[in-house]
């Protein structure tokens, strides 16, 4: 039997803080579980410092706070920065909107931008952007997440993409070449498995985070996230099912967070993993002798990676929108971001930032180049994306656990998707 799926409404999704990128961000910060905030910081509004809310917990907190401190040192403008745990962020922002306590700036999950814009929480920045004139400096994928009904409601802040990490020694031992297609990846995963090790590790845990790997396979096969019952859905499910049945992946994928996936690869229990750039520094520090090659995500009918990103927004009760805008545009200067980004293990959202020598390292460049093909849900889908991605993971779980056939799982997924899109 399929696990029961109870669709979320737009309001409960917003209240609950559900969002793939936010969840994945927390998982992708090595050793960084988001912390609670006991700072008692100002709730924003009124006169005084610029108020700035974010959900960067754990190891990600210090870099964003240092960045804001640098702005204050350079400009003399005080910024009251507050960490709201990622699981509470959307709910807290909505409650603040109804209670008159919004911050001036909210750093939000890129996939949630349309949700907040549609809830009349955010300021339309179109006129400011037109006068600023730097919108063409951004990669198309991150910039598209800021657009709602032809207007700009955010500025991209940082990004991440996914790639295929490979242990070259393990693949050579298995007698396989570095894969470039999904068929080759499946074959390599099966060939490299054995003696308690597996060929491929990915996150398939319950919830939105566990949908990413399968969706990458589905999208590469030409899939459309509004239609799961076509050939692409069957292709992706059959591939993931075969890899499990033939020993190429562990049953543990259904419980693994992305940190767990990283651990499997770092300890050489898995010859390959699907994961983001967030682990580059950790892997270099913790497994410096690992023979590593990072490859672009495998291709099928098309080549596609996953966009994980955050956006900077100004709320509709900002006490000084001009000051808020000045901070946002200051933060996005290439020279500023190229000092900040390495601390975060994140990627630049601007093409001029990416031209710096810092990003010409062969491994980093694989991730940066994939910003050109990184997928994000369009504005008609993004408000429902958390519900759809949760349903995707449940479908994958039901197939890999043997509790449902592929056809039945995809039919249930399609019903959940249709319902989410109609709300």
Residue 23, pLDDT above cutoff 60: no
Domain identity same for 233 and 145 = no
Q: Can you give the pLDDT at residue 308?
A: 95
Q: What range does the domain containing 346 cover?
A: 10-160+307-375
Who wins on pLDDT, 15 or 238?
238
Domain identity same for 290 and 401 = yes
In a domain, 255, yes or no: yes
Tens-place pLDDT, residues 68-119: 999 999 999 999 999 999 989 999 999 999 888 999 999 999 999 999 999 9
Mean pLDDT of 44-54: 77
Tens-place pLDDT, residues 350-370: 999 999 999 999 999 999 999
In a domain, 2, yes or no: no
Domain identity same for 78 and 126 = yes
Task: Assign residue 276 the CATH number of its domain.
Answer: 3.40.190.10
pLDDT band at 331 (very low <50, low <70, confident <90, very high): very high
Q: Can you give the pLDDT at residue 47?
A: 61
Residue 329, pLDDT above cutoff 80: yes
In a domain, 3, yes or no: no
Domain identity same for 129 and 210 = no
Q: Can you give the pLDDT at residue 423?
A: 81
- Which range is least confidently modeled, 17-31, 128-142, 285-299, 316-330? 17-31
Q: Can you give the pLDDT at residue 222?
A: 98
pLDDT band at 160 (very low <50, low <70, confident <90, very high): very high
Domain identity same for 178 and 264 = yes
Tens-place pLDDT, residues 270-321: 999 999 999 999 999 999 999 999 999 999 999 999 999 999 999 999 999 9
Domain identity same for 168 and 216 = yes
Tens-place pLDDT, residues 26-42: 333 323 333 333 333 33
**Mean pLDDT computed over every residue of the chain:** 89
Mean pLDDT of 45-53: 79
Q: Can you give the pLDDT at residue 48?
A: 84
Who wins on pLDDT, 395 or 37?
395
In a domain, 410, yes or no: yes
In a domain, 5, yes or no: no
Domain identity same for 122 and 221 = no
Domain identity same for 276 and 252 = yes
Instruction: Give the number of domains in the chain.
Output: 2
Q: Can you give the pLDDT at residue 13?
A: 36
Tens-place pLDDT, residues 180-234: 999 999 999 999 999 889 999 999 999 888 999 999 999 999 999 999 999 999 9
Domain identity same for 248 and 110 = no
Mean pLDDT of 49-62: 96
Among 11-15, 35-39, 394-398, the range with the most confident prediction by mean pLDDT is: 394-398
Residue 125, pLDDT above cutoff 50: yes
Domain identity same for 91 and 218 = no
Task: Say if CB 417 and CB 411 are below 8 A apart.
Answer: no
In a domain, 258, yes or no: yes
Domain identity same for 232 and 180 = yes
Where residue 45 falls (left for φ over 0; alpha for ψ -120 to 50; beta otherwise) is left
Domain identity same for 15 and 147 = yes
Mean pLDDT of 156-171: 97
């Amino acid at each position: 039997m399929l696990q029961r799926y109870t669709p979320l409404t737009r309001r409960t999704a917003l209240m609950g803080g559900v969002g793939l990128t936010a969840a994945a961000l927390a998982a992708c910060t090595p050793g960084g579980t988001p912390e609670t905030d006991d700072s008692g910081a100002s709730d924003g509004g009124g006169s005084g410092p610029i108020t700035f809310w974010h959900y960067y917990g754990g190891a990600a907190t210090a870099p964003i706070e240092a960045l804001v401190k640098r702005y204050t040192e350079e400009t003399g403008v005080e910024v009251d920065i507050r960490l709201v745990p990622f699981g509470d962020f959307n709910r807290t922002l909505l409650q603040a909107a109804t209670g008159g306590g919004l911050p001036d700036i909210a750093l939000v999950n890129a996939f949630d931008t349309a949700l907040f814009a549609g809830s009349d929480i955010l300021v339309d920045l179109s006129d400011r952007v037109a006068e600023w004139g730097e919108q063409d400096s951004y990669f198309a994928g991150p910039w598209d997440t800021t657009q709602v009904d032809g207007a700009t409601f955010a500025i991209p802040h940082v990004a991440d993409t996914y790639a295929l990490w490979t242990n070259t020694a393990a693949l050579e031992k298995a007698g396989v070449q570095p894969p470039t297609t999904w068929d080759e990846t499946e074959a390599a995963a099966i060939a490299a498995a054995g003696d308690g090790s597996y060929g491929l590790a990915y996150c398939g845990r319950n919830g939105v985070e566990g949908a990413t790997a399968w969706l990458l396979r589905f999208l590469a096969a030409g899939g459309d996230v509004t239609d799961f019952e076509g050939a692409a859905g069957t292709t992706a499910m059959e591939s993931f099912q075969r890899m499990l049945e033939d020993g190429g992946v562990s049953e543990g994928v259904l419980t693994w967070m992305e940190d767990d996936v990283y651990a499997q690869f770092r300890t050489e229990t898995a010859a390959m993993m699907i994961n983001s750039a967030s682990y580059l520094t950790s892997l270099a520090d913790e497994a410096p002798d690992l023979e590593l090659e990072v490859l672009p995500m495998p291709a099928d009918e098309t080549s596609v990676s996953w966009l994980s990103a955050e956006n900077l927004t100004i709320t509709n009760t900002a006490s000084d929108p001009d000051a808020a805008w000045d901070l946002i545009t200051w933060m996005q200067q290439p020279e500023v971001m190229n000092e900040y980004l390495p601390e975060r293990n994140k990627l630049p959202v601007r093409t001029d930032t990416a031209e710096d020598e810092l990003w010409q390292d062969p491994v980093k460049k694989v991730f940066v180049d994939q910003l050109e093909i990184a997928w994000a849900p369009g504005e008609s889908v993004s408000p429902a994306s958390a519900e759809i991605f949760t349903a995707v993971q449940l479908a994958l779980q039901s197939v890999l656990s043997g509790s449902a056939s592929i056809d039945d799982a995809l039919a249930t997924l399609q019903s959940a998707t249709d319902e989410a899109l109609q709300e």
